[in-house]
Amino acid sequence: MTFRRGVRLGVDVGTVRIGVARCDPDGILATPLPNVPRGEGDVAALVALAAEFDAMEVIVGLPLTLAGTSGPAVTSVTEFATALAAALAVPVRMVDERLSTAAAQRTLFAAGRDTRSSRSTIDGAAATLIVQSAVDFEKSTGTPAGRTVEIR
């Protein structure tokens, strides 16, 4: 099984802010980066981060329902990922992110942080889980996680 070496950015697209994380080139550790406010300039900010960290790809979490179907957020996130893919020189992949935000909340709660005061931290933690799970999947299967976003 082959692992493609390189930095990846993980992105958790929310309605207010975008959680961002990166992994090291060997995919050993993912760490959160500062959140990006959602709205004007958000795609440009992510393009700048991808360039700053010399990312080989960007992994966007796809918020499927618990049943694995498309809910209302899927359309918005897919449109965002398509715009991001059109602006980037590297591939954008979408991966199932079911429960990443819930898992991030549980982890922070276990560390003594409440949800209300940790909202911005949760976004970065969710992005960290997204990129780390994608890297771990690729390491265990030799196949990149999720699907590549096609530019229309």
Chosen CATH of 8-148 out of 3.30.420.140, 3.40.309.10, 3.40.50.150, 3.30.70.141: 3.30.420.140
The model's pTM is 0.86
Q: What is the DSSP letter of 151?
A: P
Residue spans of the domains in the chain: they are 8-148
Task: Measure the CA–CA gap between 77 and 53, rounded to whole angstroms.
Answer: 23
3-class secondary-structure state, position 149: coil
DSSP 64: -
Residues 10-69 pLDDT 10s: 999 999 999 999 999 999 999 999 999 999 999 999 999 999 999 999 999 998 756 666
Residues in the chain: 152
Alpha-carbon torsion 2, 7, 12, 15, what sign? negative
For the stretch 84-128, pLDDT in tens is 999 999 999 999 876 555 555 555 556 565 555 556 677 888 899
